[in-house]
Amino acid sequence: MKNFDELIKKKLECARKRGFYRTVDLFAGCGGMSLGFHRAGFRCVSSVEIDDKARASHELNFHKAAAPFLYKAHPDITKITPEESVAHLASLCADSTEAVDVVIGGPPCQAFSRLGRAALWRLAGKDHAHGEDKRATMYAYYLQYVAKLKPIAFVMENVREIGKHVGKNIAEEIALTAEELGYNVRYTLLNAVWFGVPQLRERTFIIGIHKSLQAEPVFPAISHKYKLPVGYSTSRAGTGHIEFLEPHDHYVDHLEFAKRTSPAVTAEQAFVDLPPIKHHLDGRKGKGHPRRTEDKMLYGSASNEFTRNMRNWPGFRNNGTEVSGHIIRYTPRDYETFRRMPNGGMYPEALATAEVIFQEELSNLEKKLGKPIRHGSHDWQELRDAIVPPYKPDRYPNKFRKMWANQPSRTVPAHIGKDAYSHIHFDSSQARGISLREAARLQSFPDGFKMCGSMNAQLKQIGNAVPPLLAYAVATQLSQSLCGVSTEISQKTNLSKTGSPGGRRKLKCH
């Protein structure tokens, strides 16, 4: 049996000499997590994603970032073993345990299950593990990769509800299982707005570092201050209030600020260099205006630190004067409602606004016809259907939401792939849902990052993704932690060889 402690140290030294850490991204989506890690000096060599369009997006962007034949995308984690996922690296490695340095990824939130820790351990230790409900075993497949590939570290992302699911703290069960696999593990809640993302989006991060390195996982210091509204559990971080059920021994109540902080990035700041879209309001639906995702429009002249970051992201720069993907859905029934409803308003306000518009238009039509229109008649119903949305206010109170210009956006959901009502543009003169490019900006995807599929497919990918700037903050902190360990190991090695620290090479860590 291999001495895994020595294997981990060998992999850390090889990564130092190579100049980057190799990652496998599980449940990779289009690559939000990989993109943040890429910027921090990690390189994805293998990804696993079942959605065809998302997998194509990941491959399009990260295959070019790897040396020839050093990247491969796989479709279904239930039909491929960890060893098979890195088999294309066989010429570089003695076996699969030497192929990958860090495992990253976010198992789908549908995977919340009634599995106990014993079941997670059992599944993680098998090559082909299948529970009664495949969705309930997704965490176990992730842990299987940790068990089989023996990474230096791993980073798992998921929704906050992972800490309170059917009376259990799944995050703690995952941490305990990973601890038995040989890792020091910690987890916490991080909000994307704390790290320069123009969006309130809180997620659980679980980080493990192999015990042989004697390093405890550390979470990134908060770089952007913002007073979080009620409903976001991280607003209570640092107060001792814990959003995870007991036991939560591996939980960290994280609220560490950087020495220098900036204000949160607002929606207006995120969109400032994107040209306004108004052609839909006068019936010019297409001719001479972008409709395809690859169509381009000229940037505006305004800019700020965030927009420059989005246009000049290392490895994904958009050096031209034009931006693609700035296209919208056409929803003519709702334009006037979008225009009139208050900023911050949700579906009840939208419905009330639409009712006022309907009464105005009904009165105008009655004057035009010179007679009253009977309530419930064909003409009455036809006019109402053309103005008033049909959803019940008590069932879908959050279906509509008009953004504030001077605040970060609320969470961008995967459902935005079906409609953009959850993110109505704050500028009433534009009276529309946000564009594809604006959704990407709210998630901090750079303009040079390319996605595959239709507008709807791309919006779904965006909503499902880890915000790249959040991933970058986590990856940077992990890189610093591993770099410190690598330096310490190198010093001890040199001392054991020479008896003194003289002649020690300066380490190059990324």
Residues 114 and 206 in one domain: yes
In whole angstroms, what is the distance from residue 340 CA to residue 338 CA?
6
Whether pTM exceeds 0.95: no
Phi-psi region of 388 (alpha: psi -120 to 50; beta: other; left: phi over 0): beta
Do 422 and 475 reside in the same domain of the chain? Answer: no
Assess if residue 152 is contained within a domain.
yes
Looking at residue 21, which CATH number applies to its domain? 3.40.50.150
- The answer as to whether 281 is a domain residue is no
Which positions are catalytic?
109
User: Do 25 and 141 lie in a common domain?
Assistant: yes
- Tell me the average pLDDT across 99-103: 97
Task: Quickly state the pLDDT bin for 240 (edges 50, 70, 90).
Answer: low
User: What angle, 0 to 180 degrees and rounded to 10, lies between the N-to-C axes of helices 138-149 and 117-124?
Assistant: 50
Determine, yes or no, domain membership for 275: no
Q: What are phi and psi of 295, to 5 degrees?
A: -65, 150
* pLDDT tens-digit map of 382-413: 999 999 999 988 888 889 999 999 999 999 99
| pLDDT confidence of residue 124 | 61
Which tokens is 431 given? 């009276």
Average pLDDT value over all residues in the chain: 89
What's the pLDDT tens digit per position in 245-256?
999 999 999 889
For CA atoms 86, 87, 89, 95, give the dihedral sign. positive
Q: Establish whether the linkage from the previous residue to 75 is cis, with ω within 30° of 0.
A: no
Does one domain contain both 230 and 349?
Answer: no
**Tally of domains in the chain:** 2
If one compares 367 and 240, the residue with the highest pLDDT of the two is 367
378: containing domain:
332-434
Phi/psi of residue 208, each to 5°? -125, 140
- Domain C-terminal end among 417, 434, 451: 434
Q: Is residue 13 part of a domain?
A: yes
User: Does position 367 have pLDDT exceeding 70, yes or no?
Assistant: yes
Asked whether residue 292 is domain-assigned, the answer is no
The per-residue pLDDT for range 160-176, each reduced to its tens digit, is: 888 887 788 999 999 99
Both structure tokens of 41: 């000096």
**Are both 103 and 250 inside the same structural domain?**
yes
Phi then psi for residue 409, to 5 deg, are -70, 155
pLDDT tens sequence across 126-161? 544 433 445 556 888 999 999 999 999 999 999 988
Question: Residue 259 gets which letter from DSSP?
Answer: E
Q: 3-state DSSP call for residue 21?
A: strand
Whether residue 454 is contained in a domain is answered as no
Last residue of one domain, picked from the residues 413, 434, 455: 434
Q: Provide the CA 109 distance to its chain's centre, in angstroms.
A: 13
Q: pLDDT band for 105, please (50, 70, 90 cuts).
A: very high
Of 248, 147, 144, nearest in space to 189 by CA: 248
Residue 337 near residue 354 (C-beta atoms within 8 A):
yes
Tally of CB atoms within 10 A around 381: 12
The mean pLDDT of 286-298, rounded to a whole number, is 84
403 within domain boundaries: yes
| Domain annotation covers residue 36 | yes
